[in-house]
């Protein structure tokens, strides 16, 4: 329904545009002609009066000049007539025409008053043929030549009205042609703009609807070299991210469900078995330890999920304070003394100097060190060494946690930061792990605006290195 309305609106816009063009053409053709004719008439009146003034000053300044130089004057007036199209009569006061500039329709000797007695008494006449004395309807200007207070001659200048109408039509036609061309060009420009702007935007709108509905495989038309290329790319990128996020959410829920279901099933099964007597009292201690182990797994998983949720919060606030990183490393290492003793692992601390302060969230960096050291111990062999080293470089402090354990396969290096990821090599050694430890590490370091890198060789060992800003002073 919405699409039909939009199409209808576009059609209405087109109809309105065409009606506007047609209406403008009609108005120009009707009223434009009248306005143009009136303007030409006004211009003709001014021009003819100027011409009359020029004739008077050049040829009729002396009343006796006319009688002695009629032939010469006639020749000059004929030239003016041929050049301007203005017909010129010189008449005596009684109306007798003594000079006519039109030799083909010569009216010399004719008396104007016999044809139109009122003509000489007027200054301008918009349209007259002087009762057929003029062959065509003409615009006339009567200019009296005076000598003192007496009129010596009359200069009658006439211009055929048809000439003015023809000029008006030509001018209006030229304007109409220009207007039609401009309208056509404007229509083409609007059509081009529509094709270049509206069509791509509509296709992108459709793509956005498809992506919003979960159809992430929908292919948006390509707009190579187009102004909308960046926008289309952004929408496509957003769709890809939405797809990845959706897949991640599904996998996340599946992993959480699996990791919760397994220990809960064990706890429920062993508890029921002890309750109904399937497990005899003398063996319950063994299974109570299993229940305790699974309970600790659930506790660790819950804590890790809460920690990750904290990092996912957009308004995460870090409590950054200066503290001694060496002191923290010593304390974290001491907490693993029991596990290290069991596996005969020694932790070697390599510090450039006794005290070294950094600026960071103390609690989160402690968790980073704990998770990295826990991983190192978990995947180290018996009778091995774990090295923790700090290095100063400019305004940064780099901390390295290095083990000589099973290492990480090359194809898994980019995956270890993913939530719930466990490599095939680690599955046998990571009985209690949640698969969230390294994800928490990376989130914590990135929250500080810092970086963490890993270097690992399968069967040789792994080294994690992260940076923190050095405290001033």
133 is written with which tokens?
């004395």
Q: Which of 115, 139, 166 marks a domain boundary? A: 166
Residues 426 and 348: their CA atoms lie apart, in Å, by 23
> Do residues 329 and 296 both lie within one domain?
no
For residue 159, is it within any domain? yes
449: domain CATH number is 3.30.565.10
257: domain CATH number is 1.10.287.130
For residue 263, is it within any domain? yes
User: Which pLDDT score is estimated for 470?
Assistant: 92
Using pLDDT thresholds of 50, 70 and 90, give the confidence band for residue 2. Answer: very low
pLDDT in tens, 97-150: 888 888 888 888 899 888 888 888 888 887 787 878 887 888 888 888 887 788
Q: What secondary structure does DSSP assign to 222-246, as a single string? A: P-TTSTTHHHHHHHHHHHHHHHHHH
DSSP SS3 for 263: helix
Q: Which of 258, 290, 312 marks a domain boundary? A: 312
User: Which pLDDT score is estimated for 399?
Assistant: 94
> Do residues 298 and 364 both lie within one domain?
no
Candidates 181, 185, 186, 237; CA nearest to 207 is 237
> Do residues 39 and 97 both lie within one domain?
yes
- How far CA 464 is from CA of 340, 377, 401, 408, 416, in Å, comes to 19, 13, 5, 12, 12
Counting every residue, how long is the chain? 473
> Do residues 307 and 340 both lie within one domain?
no
For residue 215, is it within any domain? no
Contacts of 370 (CB under 8 A, 6+ apart): 332, 335
Q: Which of 312, 344, 367 marks a domain boundary? A: 312
pLDDT at 353 over 60: yes
168 is written with which tokens?
């008006």
User: Which pLDDT score is estimated for 427?
Assistant: 43
pLDDT greater at residue 411 or residue 260: 411
69: domain CATH number is 3.30.450.20
Using pLDDT thresholds of 50, 70 and 90, give the confidence band for residue 1. Answer: very low
Q: What secondary structure does DSSP assign to 321-370, as a single string? A: EEEEHHHHHHHHHHHTHHHHHHHT-EEEEE-SSS--EEEEEHHHHHHHHH
> Do residues 303 and 327 both lie within one domain?
no
For residue 224, is it within any domain? no
Residues 444 and 313: their CA atoms lie apart, in Å, by 12
Candidates 420, 58, 404; CA nearest to 248 is 420
Share of the chain above pLDDT 70, in %: 80
Residues 70 and 54: their CA atoms lie apart, in Å, by 17
User: Which pLDDT score is estimated for 463?
Assistant: 94
> Do residues 49 and 116 both lie within one domain?
yes
445 is written with which tokens?
């370091």
Q: Which of 68-77, 156-165, 224-233 has the lowest mean pLDDT?
A: 224-233
pLDDT at 322 over 90: yes
pLDDT greater at residue 116 or residue 327: 327
> Do residues 250 and 292 both lie within one domain?
yes
Instruction: List the 461-469 sheet strands across, edge first.
Output: 346-350, 385-393, 396-403, 461-469, 452-457
Question: In which domain, by residue range, is 365 found?
Answer: 320-469
Among 18-27, 181-190, 364-373, top mean pLDDT goes to: 364-373
For residue 188, is it within any domain? no
- The angle formed by the CA atoms of residues 76, 78 and 81, to the nearest 5 degrees, is 115
For residue 205, is it within any domain? no
Rounded to two decimals, the pTM is 0.47
> Do residues 299 and 327 both lie within one domain?
no
Its sign, for the CA torsion 170, 172, 173, 179, is positive
For residue 198, is it within any domain? no
Candidates 49, 96, 57, 50; CA nearest to 73 is 57
User: Which pLDDT score is estimated for 161?
Assistant: 83
- Nearest 10 degrees: Cα torsion 266, 377, 397, 419: -30
CA atoms within 13 A on the CB side of 124: 12
Using pLDDT thresholds of 50, 70 and 90, give the confidence band for residue 3. Answer: very low
User: Which pLDDT score is estimated for 327?
Assistant: 93
Q: Which of 66-70, 75-79, 160-164 has the lowest mean pLDDT?
A: 66-70
Residues 362 and 369: their CA atoms lie apart, in Å, by 11
> Do residues 308 and 375 both lie within one domain?
no
CB 44 within 8 A of CB 159: yes
pLDDT in tens, 287-307: 788 788 678 767 766 776 676
> Do residues 31 and 136 both lie within one domain?
yes
> Do residues 233 and 153 both lie within one domain?
no
- Structural domain tally of the chain? 3
> Do residues 334 and 426 both lie within one domain?
yes
218 is written with which tokens?
């929908």
For residue 8, is it within any domain? yes
CB 384 within 8 A of CB 405: yes
Provide the 8-state DSSP code for 470.
Answer: B
Q: Which of 272-286, 408-422, 426-440 has the lowest mean pLDDT?
A: 426-440
User: Which pLDDT score is estimated for 428?
Assistant: 44
């Amino acid at each position: 329904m919405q699409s039909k309305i939009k199409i209808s609106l576009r059609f209405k816009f087109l109809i309105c545009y065409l009606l506007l063009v047609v209406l403008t053409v009609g108005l120009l053709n009707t009223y434009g002609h009248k306005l143009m004719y009136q303007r030409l008439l006004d211009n003709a009146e001014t021009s003819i009066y100027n011409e009359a003034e020029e004739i008077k000053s050049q040829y009729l300044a002396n009343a006796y000049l006319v009688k002695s130089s009629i032939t010469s004057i006639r020749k000059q007036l004929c030239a003016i007539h041929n050049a301007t199209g203005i017909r010129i009569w010189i008449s005596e006061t009684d109306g007798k025409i003594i000079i006519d500039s039109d030799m083909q329709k010569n009216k010399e000797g004719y008396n104007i008053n016999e044809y139109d007695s009122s003509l000489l008494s007027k200054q301008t006449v918009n349209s007259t043929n002087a009762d057929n004395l003029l062959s065509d309807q003409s615009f006339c200007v009567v200019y009296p030549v005076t000598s003192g207070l007496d009129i010596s001659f009359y200069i009658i200048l006439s211009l055929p009205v048809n000439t003015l109408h023809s000029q008006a039509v030509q001018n209006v036609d030229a304007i109409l042609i220009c207007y039609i061309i401009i309208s056509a060009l404007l229509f083409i420009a609007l059509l081009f703009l529509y094709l270049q702007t509206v069509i791509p935007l509509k296709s992108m709108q459709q793509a956005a609807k498809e992506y919003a509905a979960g159809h992430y495989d929908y292919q948006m038309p390509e707009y190579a070299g187009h102004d909308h290329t960046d926008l289309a790319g952004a929408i496509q990128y957003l769709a890809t991210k939405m797809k990845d996020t959706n897949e991640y959410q599904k996998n996340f829920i599946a992993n959480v469900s699996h990791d919760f279901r397994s220990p809960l099933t064990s706890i429920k099964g062993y508890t029921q078995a002890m309750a109904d007597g399937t497990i005899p009292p003398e063996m319950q201690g063994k299974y109570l330890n299993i229940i305790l182990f699974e309970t600790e797994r659930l506790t660790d998983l819950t804590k890790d999920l809460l920690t990750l949720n904290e990092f996912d919060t957009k308004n995460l606030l870090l409590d950054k304070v200066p503290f001694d990183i060496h002191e923290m490393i010593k304390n974290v290492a001491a907490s693993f003394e029991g596990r290290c003793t069991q596996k005969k692992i020694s932790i070697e601390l390599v510090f450039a100097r006794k005290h070294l302060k950094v600026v960071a969230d103390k609690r989160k960096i402690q968790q980073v060190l704990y998770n990295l050291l826990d991983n190192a111990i978990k995947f180290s062999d018996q009778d091995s060494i774990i090295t923790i080293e700090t290095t100063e470089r400019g305004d940064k402090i780099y901390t390295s946690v290095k083990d000589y354990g099973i290492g990480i396969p090359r194809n898994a290096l980019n995956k270890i930061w993913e939530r719930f990821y466990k490599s095939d090599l680690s599955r046998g050694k990571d009985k209690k792990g949640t698969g969230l430890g390294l994800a928490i590490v990376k989130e914590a370091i990135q929250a500080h605006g810092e970086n963490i890198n890993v270097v690992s060789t399968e069967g040789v060992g792994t080294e994690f290195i992260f940076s923190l800003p050095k405290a001033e002073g």
